[in-house]
Every structure is written in C-alpha cells, then in structure tokens.
Structure 1
Amino acid sequence: LAQGPVKELSDKGAAGLLKSEQALQVGAVRGRPAIEFSGGQDLVSEFTLPAGFEKSAFTVEAWVLNPTVEKTETLLVLAPPKGGPGTEFSFSKSATSGAFRSGFKATAPFSKVPEPNVWHHLAWTYGGGGDSTLRVYVDGELDLERPLKFTITPQAVIHVGASGETNEAGRLKHFTGAISRLRLLPRALSQAELRQSAGLTTAFSPDPRDGTATDSLKVPLRWQAGAIEASEFMVYVGNDRRAVEAGKPELAKRVKAREFEKSDLKVGESYFWRVDQLDAQGRVIVPGLVWSFTADSGLATKPLPRDHDSNVSVTTRSLSWEPGRYATHQRVYVGASADEVENASKPIAELSGDVKTVSLPAALLPGTRCFWRVDSDNGAQPASRGAIWTFRTQDEVVKNDVTFFVGSDSHYGRENNAAINRRVIDEMNALPGEALPASIGGGIVRTPRGVAMNGDLLDEGFIAETAHAQWADFCRDYGLTGRDGRLCYPVYEGFGNHDGGPTKSIPRAGIKERNLKRVGLTSVSEDGHHYSWDWDQVHLVQLNLFGGDGPEDVKGVNGPEHDPEGALRFLNADLAKNVGNSGRWVVVFQHFGWLGGMSDWWQPEAKERFYEAVKPYRIACLVNGHSHGAAFVPWHDLLTIHDGSTARGDGDTGDFLMVRITEKELIVIQRKIGGWGILKRTPLGAPAETPKP
C-alpha cells in the first residue's frame, strides 16, 4: 500500500474490498508498514464469507501494535450481515473476553496480556468439528488453550478495528493502534506453521512454561526446534539472567535431543535458561529467547484454620498444616498482626519436619484475627520462609442480632463467571471485622450466620452435557456447611429461571438432595425444594423461583418450564406453622422480583395472592435476584430488595448484600469487590420473646 490516507483496501485473497467511512492512515510504524487506527474508524467488507466457512476450522493471525491496551478493543469481527454481535478476536485486557468472544458462553481472556506498545504476532486457531478447542498464540507461543463451542454467523461480514455492534455514537469496542498484517484462513494452522508464517525461528514451547514454578528439584527442560536445519542445541541454565543472555561458557551444555535434565536445583530459587539452535557444523542458527522458572519453594501448605477463614470457633485449640516436602525442622510463629508475625524472631514452637500440628499458646477470643506462619529448614537446601496465614474467630453471639449475606445470579458456565464468583467468595470470607460506613451508624461487619443465594446459579442448568460439571463447580466453591467449600459460611441456595424447569434442571435436583443434608431447617416442602430456617427471632424462607403455585402464575415465558412448584402453598403452611401469631420477623428469598427491574415474569394476580399470604406477618424484607442490579423497591407496605449479582462478566466484577437485623433496625448494604455501595437503614419494632407460636 502507498503511504497516506486510504478509505478502501483490497483483500489479497481476492474476495473483494473492505471500506471505511473515515480515512485510515497507512505508514511505517516502528519499522513495519501498517494501517493505523485512531479509535474511531473501522473497515467493513463488501463481501461475505463463503458458504460453509462457519462449519470449518479456521485461523486468524495478525501483526499488531497496541500502544495502550484497554479493556475492550476488537481487531476482527465476523458479524451478521445486518450488524450486531459476532465472533470477536481482540487485543484487550478484559479478564472475561480480552482475547476472544462469541456470544456469552464462548469467551477467553489472554493468560498474560501482551506487552503494550510492542509489535506482537497474535494468532487464534479453532479445530472445528470434533476438535472444539480454541488456541491463542502470542509471538509463536501458546498463551491459552480452551474447549469452546460456538457458531460463526453464516455468510458473515468482516469488520476490522471495531465490533459489529453499534449505539447512537457508532461502532463499539474500537481498536486504537496499528495492524501490519491480517489473515483469515479456513483451516487451523499448527504452531510450527504459525511460527513459519510469522518468520519466528527461535526454539519454542519451553517446558517448564516461562515464568512458572516447578514441583520438584529435578526438572527435565524441554523445547521445540524453530529452525528446520537445527541438528543440535546449546543450552544455557543459571541463576543470573545477564550471564544466560551473554552465553557464559560455564553455563553451557551441548545436546542433540530436545531435552536437558537439570537435577541440582535449589529450593525456591529462580532460574533462567535459553536454547541456541546449531546447524550441522555447530554454528548458531539463531540465539534463543531467555525463559525463566522457579524451583519448588518447599513451603508448608493446607493451613487449618483455612487462610482468611472468618468463621472460626473460639473453641479451636490448635493449628495444623501439611509440612513442606523437604522439611527437616519447623518453626511456628503466631501473632495479632501480619507485621508482628513477619518480624517475629521467637517461635511458639520448634518441631521436627514431620509434625503437622501445634497447640495455640492461649485461648482464642471472640471476634479477633490471628496471624501465623510456618518456616522450614530443609537440610542442605535453603530454608523456606512460610507465607503468612490469617483467620478470624466468630463474634460473640448477641441475642436477636442477626447478620447474613445475600447474593444471586452466579451464572456458572457463562463467560469468566466462575473466577469472578471465587473473588466474591473471598470478599465474603474476609469481610467480618471490616468497618461499616459511618453514614449507616458505624460499627463492624459481624460474623454472618450464612449466605442466601437467590437463583440462576448456573447459566444453562438444563443442558445435562455441561450442567453437571458446572453444578459441581458451584458446590465446590460455595459448599454447603461452611466447612466443605471455598465459602466459610453455610449457604442457602434457591434455583432461578436459568437453572431450568422441573424435568431437566440439574440445580433443582441438586437442591433437593442438598436439603437432606442441610442442618437446622425448620420445614421442607413435600417435593424437597422449598425450605425455611430460623436465626434467633428471625424466620427465613427460601422459595426458589418465585412465590406462585403453578405454571398458570407465570407471565410472558413458558409456564411449565418456569413452574414454581407450589412455593406459595409451602409459604402459607410454613408461616402458619413456624411463625403464627408470634410476631417474629420474616425474610423471604426468591429469584423473581416483586417490583422493579425484570419483575414482570409472574402474573399480577399471583403477586397479590403472595401479598395476602404474608400480610398478617411482620415482614422485615423480601429479597430477590434476577435483575442483576442492587436496588431498594417499596411494594405495597413492604420493602423489596434486589440483591445484585455475584458475577457480572461484562464488568469482571460482582456484588452481594450484607443484611443485619437487630431488635431495633434493619441494615442493608451492597458490597462490591473492595468497597461499599448503596445502603438502607430502617427502624424495626422489637420482636416477640417467644420464638415460636
């Protein structure tokens, strides 16, 4: 291309023209001829992809320079002819779809976002057919490998430099930077073919992968040859990166095989290595890149109480762990702060290398945080300084002072939601003891009695091929009792519309099974789905989808698939039996809202029957999911609360509610990852003394 402004380009594959409404600049960028995108232009093909391309394997490869990598920047989109979301290939830092997106299910971020302001060769390959694996390569190295199923729009239009989606301002997800070469092929190139196409001839595919840690002190170093004529290899390994870069002779080992065993590693030390390829005469064809790895650290692991557990009983009398694999002697340090443990010189115990437990030096007090670490001597190897672990004991129980958390819409199986949920769970685990906002009256977050989850636990809980594994992920993360998952509190989950209908739902069946094991329930419905429990003078009810009776109460969507399965009948019977005229406060959980965002999924008549059912009782609040946005919405004379979502893939974040009910007031605060959101403080009358009628 001639340097200067252009508005159209010819596809070298002879398919036709790509045009831009605004001129693009062609010029030399960091030594490469390239088209520059300033963040407001895109190229759109006048042609469509040939029939059948959507069923084929494919490769996308490009030379790209991105000066500042933003959250959403699209290089290439295969979009519907009339516009809209398509299959996107991106160079952005989104933790959900920084590298790829096709719909909500098929997304992939970069494992490591490529360095900005540097030319990179990026490539995406998809096997298609029986091999539904997306592979993303950065500079010839495999960055990501993920099984994905998606469909490219038949006869798609190509967009370069922006998404196929628009708003009133124009195209979305614009790319700002330079593209030197862009290829779309109807087959999946191998890694070797990609490297050849990019002109990359250095050794590649290091094992251990660059920047990782080993689990042994004896490691075979492996690689692939990048030059066809390579017949031998010179391997340099050492602790000094500069010495490896300089090719110091004392670090060199000449080998014929693509493997070299390094057997004298030191615990926790970092190593650098490179592989020069040699021709038949022993001459260096091309110097290798410098890779790194860290030898096994030999640290103690698996602390009990678990790290950041904030639900530890004050009756705990000992600490336990798994000793480091090389430990010959151990020292245990305990203190009231991380700094105290970090700087401690006197251990509470000195132990042999095989001991796994130690008694605490004093009884634990309620609502206090403890810090500890285990250091290991490793014989002739360097010592291992342990990580600092922490836990918090339960607050002293105060009668009729009940704190709990509420979340919903975890949508496991969608985007990067599993990882986001784990971050939210970690936020829940660490929250007790945190200062409450001054505007709500101050104080601290007390130990929650448990966590309610209001539906849409999975994104497609009705597809058996994927839902079983996603349900297992949910149960592994949220657990049941507070001792069997990542979450350190008991959980009380219900199903939502995304979890599926009565005949196909994996979560519905799973909740029924979990209710047989759930401790402390006061009532369970005959079908095993709906249930209730008590925390002091507060009675709580989980109605799952919504408080209706049957399919006839559903509005706007398939009735049988959204059957509430007698939730209202259960509520009537439960409140009559377990609350009656006691005057106790009641909290009801369900997925659909009563009023506000996305609340029109059940009939108005059904809502009124629900209101008549709860009107005789003292309702502290009604809490729903479904809308994905936290809000306080009055309904009749009651307060309904939308609880947000524990995973928003588009924003790579999530939120939940902290709820506190005392004899005098209801406090509700939205908790985002790392900060507080909306809040409400409402006076309550004192509950009755008698816990049951």
Structure 2
Amino acid sequence: MPISVSRRHLLAAAGGLGLSMILPGQRGLAQAQRPATDVTFLFSCDVHACLVSADALSPNCADEGKTDAALLKHVAAVNGIAGHAWPSEIDGKPTGLAGAGSPIATPRGLVFGGDMTDDGGGQVKVPGEGRQLQQFASRYQQGTGPDRVHYPVYTGLGNHDLDQDGVPPHADWYRRELRDYVELNHRSTVFYKAPVPVTNYDIDSDNYSWDWSGLHLVQLQRFGGDGTKGAISGLPWLQQDLATYAADGRPVVLFQHYGWDDFSTEHWDPVAKTFDPHGSGPAHWWTDEARAALLATLTKYNVVGIFHGHEHPTPMTYNRDGHDIFKPVAAFMGGLAVVRVTDRFMDVVLARAGTSATDIIFTHAFSKRLSG
C-alpha cells in the first residue's frame, strides 16, 4: 500500500524533527525551578483585513469599518501603549489593578486571536497570494515606522480565515495559504529561521506554544480540539505540551478564536429559525462537547487566563468553569488587551484606540493575585 506524505510532514522531517515534536530530554524542564516572571504583552483579535485589490474592499467592509485607515489607527494604539500608565481609575471608579499608576512596560509581543482576514486571505478564483493576507502582513508583521507593529506578532486563525471554500478544484487553497503563513512565521527548522520562532509547533493542528520567563503561552487557533473543515485536533499535542512545559505549576495563558460567550456558544433555534443562545439544535461555532474536551485537558494546570475573539463590539471579562476569560473589541474597532503577569499577580486592561495616534481609552480592568 503506497504511503502518502504531505508537504508539511516532509518539512517536519527535513527540519530534523526540530521544533515540531517534544524531545524526551526536554521533560526535565518540568522539574527545573521556573524563572522569575514579570511579563507584559498585548492581545488583539478580529483584524478582518478586507482589501481585494489595490484599493477595493470586499462587499460591506467599508460600511462595517473594516478599512485600512482603521487598521492604521489600531497599529498606532498598539505601538503607543508603552507611553501610558496602568490606569488607577476607569470612569471614575478604582480599577484595583496591582500595578495601578505604574508605567506600562514595552510589550514582549502582540498575540492575535483569529480572523486576521475577512475572506480566507482574500483569494478570488485562481490560487495566488491573497490581497487580504498581504494587507494583514503589511500592518502586522514587525517593522519600523508608523504603519507597522513594533513588536513580535504571534498569529492566530479564526473562522473567517478557515471556513471559506475556494472555487473547485482549489477548495482548500484559502486554508492552506493561511496555515502556511502561520507556520512560516513561527516554525523554525535546521534549514529555516522563522521570524517569530516558538518552542513547540504542531504541524497537524498549527497549535504552538512558547515561554516568556516563567509564563507558558499556547495558541490554539480557531479552538482547542478543532476538527472542522479538514482540521486535525490539537488536543493530544496540547496534552503533551502542558505535561512537558507546565507541570511545574507555572502560569499558563491560552489564545483561541471562539469563546464561552453567548455568541460563540449559540445553537440553532428551530422556533426562531436562527442561531441564538437559547437554541436547542446544532451548535453554530463549536460544540458543548468540544468545550468539555478542552477543559478536561486543562484540569491539572495553572491556567490563569484565556483570551479569545469572534464577537466584535463587546469588551468582556468573565469567568466560565473556573477560568478567567477576556475579549477586547475587534482590532478594526481599535480593540486590544494589555496584560501583565508576574509571580504575584495578573493585571488585564481592555482598551481601544482613541481619536489621535497617542490616545488610548481604557474600558475594563481585571486583577487577581497569583500564588507562587
């Protein structure tokens, strides 16, 4: 029986197994004393890059505010965040932040929670590099100047990146292009140095993880355990990753596109004939079973926060099943989360871009003590 080897698995072999699997010798990391942690980073989601030609947008994008001007405003806010202080008050009420009043440190990076593009990268009929992916890269690959993000960028995919089918016979081209972009940005091999290399990359699911000091961070793409549209579940990889890198009790932060909010968890309502939070039919985005499987994988570990996107206009800080969960407004609406994790506390502020390049509007604050 002939053996079929995909391009991705061939690349993994060519990389000498590099960062695509966990080596036995690395298991000693869990027993080692973890380093001191004081990490500041940014999270954003739902960029929805919309260009389909040099100057034209996908239908309805202009009316929805998904313009390049909006992305430039967001980039300015992201780059200017270190010039601000952690707010002591929001709308006249104390924030309770552990670091209130102190300067926001230069972020270690900007992490995305999906929907980088509006239509599968911006493909049309013939396979080729999509305009929307080009637009995203032109704003959110680390660079210099006012039109590029100044920090390392950790990419993440959502339903708008992965759900759209291409024109036959290229039905999967959109998905392949977006997944390749993530892989080439983050998976190094002995032959190739990624622009933003990570510690552990799963070539099947495109889930990946890395560490900043004693903080472990995991990107789960659309959602942890995703098996839709040809995706391969990353839960076995996640199980091994956490056992290897987080068994010492270090804080863990997760990123994905879907959340636990009403929109992300809606079901088909046969009476209303639409998807809504009260429906009893099939799930719209991800199932109750998928959420349960992900949560079961996290049980033994010190998950201090989960960040997601998907719902655009509502900033959220909430708790589900014992996990603190955060979602800023969409990036094209100027949204971002500023996060600081230390050995003693975790501070999160949700914010959005104001009217000027240096104007940041803080909307929600969250703080909790962490046990060492």
Structure 1 partner of 2:225: 548
Q: Aligned letter for 1:514?
A: N
Structure 2 partner of 1:513: 184
SS of structure 1 residue aligned to 2:116: coil
Relative CO higher for 1 or 2, CA cutoff 8 Å, sep ≥ 6?
Answer: 2
Structure 2 partner of 1:644: 329
Q: Does 1:476 align with 2:131?
A: no
Q: Which of 577, 581, 589 is the aligned partner of 2:255?
A: 589
Q: Which of 290, 296, 310 is the aligned partner of 1:626?
A: 310
Return the index of the structure with the highest Cα Rg. Answer: 1
Taking the aligned partners of 2:47 and 2:103, their CA distance within structure 1 comes to 26
Q: Which of 174, 179, 187 is the aligned partner of 1:504?
A: 174
Higher share of residues assigned helix: 2
Q: Aligned letter for 2:208?
A: Y
Q: 1:659, 1:667 within 8 Å by CA — same for their partners in 2?
A: yes
The alpha-carbon deviation at position 417 of structure 1 amounts to: 2.6
Q: 2:254, 2:305 within 8 Å by CA — same for their partners in 1?
A: yes
Q: Does 1:532 align with 2:202?
A: no
Q: Does 1:409 align with 2:93?
A: no
Taking the aligned partners of 2:371 and 2:186, their CA distance within structure 1 comes to 32
Task: With the length of structure 2 as denominator, give the TM-score of the two structures.
Answer: 0.69
* CA RMSD, 1 decimal: 2.3
What CA deviation, in whole Å up to 9, does each residue of 1:424-480 have, x standing for no partner? Answer: 111111110312211332211111000001111110016523971211111111114
The alpha-carbon deviation at position 595 of structure 1 amounts to: 3.5
Q: 2:185, 2:197 within 8 Å by CA — same for their partners in 1?
A: no
Structure 1 partner of 2:237: 570
The alpha-carbon deviation at position 511 of structure 1 amounts to: 1.2
Structure 2 partner of 1:615: 299
Taking the aligned partners of 1:406 and 1:455, their CA distance within structure 2 comes to 11
Q: 1:499, 1:508 within 8 Å by CA — same for their partners in 2?
A: no
Structure 2 partner of 1:309: none
Taking the aligned partners of 2:346 and 2:82, their CA distance within structure 1 comes to 18
Q: What is the percentage of aligned positions where both structures have the same residue?
A: 29
Taking the aligned partners of 2:325 and 2:138, their CA distance within structure 1 comes to 30
Q: 1:630, 1:670 within 8 Å by CA — same for their partners in 2?
A: yes
Q: 2:154, 2:196 within 8 Å by CA — same for their partners in 1?
A: no
Shift in alpha-carbon separation, 1:489–1:483, aligned structure 2, 3 A: farther
SS of structure 1 residue aligned to 2:180: helix
Q: Which of 435, 439, 443 is the aligned partner of 2:85?
A: 435
Shift in alpha-carbon separation, 1:474–1:463, aligned structure 2, 3 A: closer
Structure 2 partner of 1:602: 286
Higher share of residues assigned strand: 1
Shift in alpha-carbon separation, 1:603–1:494, aligned structure 2, 3 A: same
Q: 1:512, 1:528 within 8 Å by CA — same for their partners in 2?
A: no
Task: With the length of structure 1 as denominator, give the TM-score of the two structures.
Answer: 0.38
Q: Aligned letter for 2:367?
A: R
Which residues in structure 2 correspond to 1:342-491 (within 5 Å)?
399-413=36-50, 414-415=61-62, 416-438=66-88, 439=95, 440=97, 441-461=100-120, 463-465=122-124, 468-480=130-142, 486-491=148-153
Taking the aligned partners of 2:240 and 2:147, their CA distance within structure 1 comes to 32
Taking the aligned partners of 1:532 and 1:483, their CA distance within structure 2 comes to 29
Q: 1:522, 1:578 within 8 Å by CA — same for their partners in 2?
A: no
Q: Aligned letter for 2:265?
A: S
Taking the aligned partners of 1:462 and 1:488, their CA distance within structure 2 comes to 23
Taking the aligned partners of 1:564 and 1:644, their CA distance within structure 2 comes to 27
Q: 1:531, 1:542 within 8 Å by CA — same for their partners in 2?
A: yes
Q: 1:587, 1:621 within 8 Å by CA — same for their partners in 2?
A: yes
The alpha-carbon deviation at position 528 of structure 1 amounts to: 6.8
Q: Aligned letter for 1:420?
A: A
Structure 2 partner of 1:318: none
What CA deviation, in whole Å up to 9, does each residue of 1:120-179 have, x standing for no partner? Answer: xxxxxxxxxxxxxxxxxxxxxxxxxxxxxxxxxxxxxxxxxxxxxxxxxxxxxxxxxxxx
Taking the aligned partners of 1:444 and 1:484, their CA distance within structure 2 comes to 22
The alpha-carbon deviation at position 641 of structure 1 amounts to: 1.2
Q: Aligned letter for 1:507?
A: L
What CA deviation, in whole Å up to 9, does each residue of 1:228-275 have, x standing for no partner? Answer: xxxxxxxxxxxxxxxxxxxxxxxxxxxxxxxxxxxxxxxxxxxxxxxx
SS of structure 1 residue aligned to 2:83: coil
Q: Aligned letter for 1:512?
A: E
Q: Aligned letter for 1:532?
A: S
Taking the aligned partners of 2:67 and 2:258, their CA distance within structure 1 comes to 21
Shift in alpha-carbon separation, 1:424–1:483, aligned structure 2, 3 A: closer
> How many pairs were matched up?
273
Q: Does 1:680 align with 2:366?
A: yes
In structure 1, the gaps of 5 or more residues are: 1-397, 552-559, 649-653, 687-693
Taking the aligned partners of 2:146 and 2:202, their CA distance within structure 1 comes to 25
Taking the aligned partners of 1:586 and 1:497, their CA distance within structure 2 comes to 24
Taking the aligned partners of 1:537 and 1:482, their CA distance within structure 2 comes to 29
Structure 1 partner of 2:13: none
Which residues in structure 2 correspond to 1:86-97 (within 5 Å)?
none
Q: Aligned letter for 1:534?
A: D
